[in-house]
């Protein structure tokens, strides 16, 4: 579904990604792990079109998209739940969700809204209150549900467990697994590398902007060098 080939990206004169390549097949969770500052968020932002690339290709369903603006990529089926949630604080929970569907104002809007509330029932209970009033975990649920309102083929999740209590982390990651089981394709960046690889099908390790390891998630979890260098084990 997604192929990234030799992708580089920079902030001004500072190159952050160095000829990065990866693939994500339909219906799988692929975990992207690495230390802070490795370039994981920049890679997701480049795939979604928020951050420009300096070289390389991005293919989605076999179609080159690296020169397309972000809103066009959303229309093709790529949606991102960003790091830090970035909800629209003064707006209601439901208005946040409806904004997620700005490219899909069709007859399925009510159904997608119902599905979002079914996945995260607390959002339905709080649908009329400002998003800024939600707890951190509830805001994360809202950020994921908002991305799903675009009816994506590929969901980019950036640090969904950041700053959450362990119980909420389990709830969020269980939701990610449920989405995969329903056929969603997911590229997951997660600070908790062990937890991410535990639910993923495959994994990549990014280090100072370069891909240094890849493989089946369980193989990466079992690799002693990986466990020592990246998993804190």
pLDDT, tens digit, 9 for 90 and up, residues 179-195: 999 999 999 998 788 99
78-103 burial code (b ≥16 CB/10 A, e <16):
bbbbbbebebeeeebbbebbbebbeb
In a domain, 82, yes or no: no
Among 100, 123, 151, which residue terminates a domain?
A: 151
Among 151, 171, 198, which residue terminates a domain?
A: 151
Instruction: Pick the closest to residue 26 from 2, 49, 4, 5 (CA basis).
Output: 2
Furthest-apart CA atoms within the chain: distance in Å: 51
Query: How does residue 135 score in pLDDT terms, banded at 50, 70 and 90?
Result: very high
In a domain, 85, yes or no: no
Among 131, 151, 171, which residue terminates a domain?
A: 151
Residue ranges in 49-192 assigned as alpha helix (H): 70-76, 93-100, 109-119, 121-125, 136-148, 166-181
Q: How many domains does the chain have?
A: 2
**Do residues 66 and 157 share a domain?**
yes
Residue 225 CA, chain-centre distance (Å), reads: 26
Residue ranges in the chain assigned as alpha helix (H): 40-48, 70-76, 93-100, 109-119, 121-125, 136-148, 166-181, 193-199, 217-222, 224-229
**Do residues 165 and 140 share a domain?**
no
75-to-48, 58, 101 alpha-carbon distances in Å: 11, 16, 10
**Do residues 46 and 9 share a domain?**
yes
pLDDT, tens digit, 9 for 90 and up, residues 116-125: 999 999 999 9
In a domain, 101, yes or no: yes
pLDDT, tens digit, 9 for 90 and up, residues 76-91: 999 999 988 899 999 9
Task: Quote the domain boundaries for residue 39.
Answer: 2-77+152-229
Phi, psi values for residue 137, rounded to 5°: -65, -40
Q: What is the DSSP letter of 165?
A: -
Q: Domain with 218 in it: what CATH number? A: 3.40.50.300
pLDDT, tens digit, 9 for 90 and up, residues 143-159: 999 999 999 999 999 99
In a domain, 12, yes or no: yes
**Which tokens go with 118?**
């079914």
Q: How far apart, in whole angstroms, are the C-alpha atoms of residue 94 and residue 152? A: 19
What is the pTM assigned to this prediction?
Answer: 0.93
**Do residues 117 and 135 share a domain?**
yes
């Amino acid at each position: 579904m997604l192929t990234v080939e030799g992708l580089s990206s920079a902030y001004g004169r500072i190159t952050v990604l160095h000829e990065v390549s990866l693939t994500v097949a339909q219906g799988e969770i692929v975990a992207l792990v690495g230390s802070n500052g490795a370039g994981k968020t920049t890679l997701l932002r480049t795939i979604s079109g928020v951050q420009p690339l300096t070289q390389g290709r991005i293919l989605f369903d076999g179609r080159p998209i690296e020169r397309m603006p972000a809103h066009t990529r959303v229309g093709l089926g790529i949606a991102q739940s960003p790091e830090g949630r970035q909800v629209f604080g003064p707006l209601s929970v439901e208005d946040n969700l409806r904004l997620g569907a700005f490219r899909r104002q069709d007859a399925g809007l009510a159904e997608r809204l119902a599905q979002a509330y079914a996945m995260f029932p607390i959002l339905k209970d709080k649908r009329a209150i400002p998003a800024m009033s939600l707890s951190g975990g509830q805001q994360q649920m809202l950020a994921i549900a908002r991305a799903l309102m675009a009816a994506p083929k590929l969901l980019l999740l950036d640090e969904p467990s950041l700053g959450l209590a362990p119980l909420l982390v389990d709830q969020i990651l269980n939701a990610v697994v449920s989405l995969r089981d329903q056929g969603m394709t997911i590229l997951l960046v997660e600070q908790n590398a062990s937890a991410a690889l535990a639910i993923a099908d495959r994994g990549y390790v990014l280090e100072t902007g370069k891909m240094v390891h890849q493989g089946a998630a369980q193989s990466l979890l079992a690799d002693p060098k990986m466990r020592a260098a990246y998993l804190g084990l």
